[in-house]
Amino acid sequence: MLPILENLWIIPLLPLLGSAINGFFGAKWPNKTVNAVALGSTGLSFACALEAVREFLGDYFPANHHAFVKPFFDWILAGNFRAGFDLQMDQLTVVMVLIVTGVGFLIHIYSTGYMAHEGGYYRFFSYLNLFMFFMLILILAANYVLLFVGWEGVGLCSYLLIGFYFLRKSASDAGNKAFIVNRIGDFGFMLGMFLLFRTFHTLDFSTIFAKAGPMPADGMGQFGTLTIACLLLFMGATGKSAQLPLYVWLPDAMEGPTPVSALIHAATMVTAGVYVVARSNVLFIHAPTAMYVVAIVGCATAFFAATIGLVQSDIKKVLAYSTVSQLGYMFLACGVGAFSAGVFHLMTHAFFKALLFLSAGSVIHAMGGEQDMWHMGGLWSKIKVTAWCMLFGTIAIAGFFPFAGFFSKDAILFGAFQYEHGGKILYAVGLTAAILTSFYMFRLIWLTFFGAPRYDEHHVHVHESPKSMTVPLMILAALSAVGGWLALPALWGGSNYFSDFLQPVMGSTEETAGGSVHTLELILSGVAIIAATLGLLAAWRMYAKGAKRGTSEGLHKVLYNKYYVDEIYQAAIIGPLVWLSRNILWKVVDAGAIDGTVNGIAHGAASIGDLTRRTQSGNTRSYAVWVIVGAIVIFGVIFWPVIHPVVFGGVR
């Protein structure tokens, strides 16, 4: 059999083929054929990923003890710059590739049910497969340039899929917003790459990290080259992973179909920023200032987005802000140096947030397209499978033992608590955000599944979703429940399998916990569970009996309007920019300077032509005179050295 590890390109190529086949030929095909292509390519890709992981962990790594890197072909060669199509496999890639292909495959299955009655079915799967291709390129890339290809590619697919219902103005606007806001972050990312190339003369991960390892670390508060490079990379990450201040596109991205929200805007693409930071951990530990910024931005986002999530009425908007908030946790983990905790949360979040989004999709499907939770209620007995799955996801995200979220969030908060630069404050804010998380998620549960129905029962026929949707839900629910158990032995002082597994990538950046620290960890775990319970109780008190729509005044109004951030951006950035573009760039620079130059040159040519056309008299003899004059001039020029002393010599 073909060794997959030696031919890693197969893994991303399969979805690309699926995308191309469906995109070019799928328009006329029945849904079944499109399904076969889309599911076949992703399923095969998942199988190949499993095989590659088996080969890497089973044979390659025990023998070599370093990442598998293989150049496939040269892509850009210019002077001493080389960007190759190089793919790599290490423990971090193993985690990511399994999440992307595994969760991606489940979401593909789900989509066959969810999108069954939608127009543009082949187009949807073509985009979705294309997304898988770019995401796999992103995580398999062995240098920053190729990573950036995937990075931009997933951005493109995100744009296409957010604007999937492009006839709806709000959807195409949301797509544009996502694309444009990401440009800001990508600008920083590119500057970061340039700076890294200037410093290291290469953009290959292995070389950069090997060279950066022995370099002296910047001090806290110092802005050395590595600090600035890390901050620029993080700027890209804030765009892609929806952190303050560039998070505004993610809630709007919910205009896309729900499986897209689950796959791209919860489980995989938005975690690309976390992946980049975790991948560059060697650089980041040389830049404590950058780490500090990452931690603060992550912590602030976790809290900020959670507060907005408290009052949203759209079921998908709640989950969107929840995603922003959870991504904040991941950055908090990276910022305080607990990279493996960040990646751990990335993984568990991929499970439970994909689950939550897909369950929400199932609810929306059941309600015939209704997304407002105030028009739901009492659905528990009608869609039992969906409800149970959603409850599993909620328990997992709220952080109750022994669900996945408990272990990962606990590891993050523990890391924050131990951070020496104001870690206690970060911990407190993170813990508050955990209470809020628990609150808004159980609020969602109660509003959606309990209480009296608040919809017209004669018009809406609530029905459970088909098997193709519920089976992926159940698998994800199981993963959300057990996904965290990799870290289970750490509770009784054993080893955390997950961070041990990532040890070769994260290296010595994380110290192992000692005995007294272990007690602290247990106490903090207890506190975290108490926090989650507090949120649960608060939600129960407010929404279990007689849920009322909140009053629209005071803090509630500010939260409901998302702190007016969109309005502030509109007034402070977009408005002036549009004014500048219209009144200066368009009317002065474009119409005046650029058009003026072009038209001026044309007018000049025309008037010169007007003057010189008079020499074209049509009279043969005048032409003859010109010929003679010309001959005399040429004669004069050629024999100038002879003529010159003869004519002017006497005068001198």
Q: What is the smallest separation between the CB atom of 611 and other proteins, expressed in angstroms?
A: 12
Which residues touch 421 (CB under 8 Å, ≥6 apart)? 220, 288, 292
Nearer to other proteins, 77 or 628 (CB): 628
Q: What is the smallest separation between the CB atom of 634 and other proteins, expressed in angstroms?
A: 15
Nearer to other proteins, 579 or 623 (CB): 623
In angstroms, the CA 242 to CA 329 distance is: 12
Nearer to other proteins, 591 or 625 (CB): 625
Q: What is the smallest separation between the CB atom of 619 and other proteins, expressed in angstroms?
A: 6
Q: What is the smallest separation between the CB atom of 602 and other proteins, expressed in angstroms?
A: 19
Nearer to other proteins, 369 or 618 (CB): 618
Among candidate residues 334, 342, 267, 260, the one with its CA nearest the CA of residue 296: 334
Q: What is the smallest separation between the CB atom of 83 and other proteins, expressed in angstroms?
A: 58
Check: CB of residue 75 under 8 Å from CB of residue 146.
yes
Q: What is the smallest separation between the CB atom of 20 and other proteins, expressed in angstroms?
A: 58
Nearer to other proteins, 523 or 625 (CB): 625
Please work out, in degrees rounded to the nearest 5, the angle formed at the alpha carbon of residue 633 by the alpha carbons of 627 and 638: 125
Q: What is the smallest separation between the CB atom of 612 and other proteins, expressed in angstroms?
A: 10
Q: What is the smallest separation between the CB atom of 600 and other proteins, expressed in angstroms?
A: 24
Q: What is the smallest separation between the CB atom of 638 and other proteins, expressed in angstroms?
A: 17
Among candidate residues 295, 341, 311, 280, the one with its CA nearest the CA of residue 141: 280
Q: What is the smallest separation between the CB atom of 648 and other proteins, expressed in angstroms?
A: 24
In angstroms, the CA 600 to CA 644 distance is: 41
Nearer to other proteins, 36 or 624 (CB): 624
Nearer to other proteins, 80 or 619 (CB): 619
Q: List own/partner pairs for 176-183 with CB under 8 A and 24 or more apart.
A: 177/248, 177/249, 177/252, 178/249, 178/250, 178/252, 178/253, 179/155, 181/239, 181/246, 181/248, 181/249, 182/155, 182/158, 182/239, 182/240, 182/246, 182/249, 183/239
Nearer to other proteins, 81 or 635 (CB): 635
Among candidate residues 40, 1, 2, the one with its CA nearest the CA of residue 19: 40
Q: Give 269's DSSP letter.
A: G
Tokens of 191: 């500057």
Number of neighbours of residue 73 by Cβ within 10 angstroms: 8
Q: What is the smallest separation between the CB atom of 617 and other proteins, expressed in angstroms?
A: 6
Q: What is the smallest separation between the CB atom of 628 and other proteins, expressed in angstroms?
A: 6
Nearer to other proteins, 223 or 635 (CB): 635
Check: CB of residue 348 under 8 Å from CB of residue 398.
no
- Residue found by looking up tokens 């999530």 in the block: 309
Nearer to other proteins, 548 or 613 (CB): 613
Q: What is the smallest separation between the CB atom of 155 and other proteins, expressed in angstroms?
A: 58
Nearer to other proteins, 220 or 642 (CB): 642
Three-state SS letters, 582-609: HHHHHHHHHHHHHHHHHHHHHHHHHHHH
Nearer to other proteins, 530 or 628 (CB): 628
Residues lying near other proteins in the complex (CB under 8 A): 613, 616-621, 624-625, 628
CB half-sphere exposure, 65, CA atoms < 13 A: 1
Tokens of 423: 């870690």
In angstroms, the CA 119 to CA 7 distance is: 37
Number of neighbours of residue 7 by Cβ within 10 angstroms: 15
Nearer to other proteins, 516 or 616 (CB): 616
Backbone angles phi, psi at 338, to 5 degrees: -95, 65
Q: What is the rounded radius of gyration, in angstroms, for the C-alpha atoms of the chain?
A: 31
Which residues touch 471 (CB under 8 Å, ≥6 apart)? 109
In angstroms, the CA 106 to CA 246 distance is: 29
Three-state SS letters, 127-168: HHHHHHHHHHHHHHECEHHHHHHHHHHHHHHHHHHHCCCCCC
- Residue found by looking up tokens 């979040």 in the block: 349
Nearer to other proteins, 581 or 617 (CB): 617
Nearer to other proteins, 65 or 621 (CB): 621
Burial class of residue 602 in the structure, from the number of CB atoms within 10 Å of its CB (0-12 exposed, 13-18 middle, 19+ buried): exposed
Q: What is the smallest separation between the CB atom of 172 and other proteins, expressed in angstroms?
A: 54
Q: What is the smallest separation between the CB atom of 614 and other proteins, expressed in angstroms?
A: 8
In angstroms, the CA 266 to CA 330 distance is: 13
Which one-letter amino acid corresponds to residue 420? E
In angstroms, the CA 343 to CA 341 distance is: 5
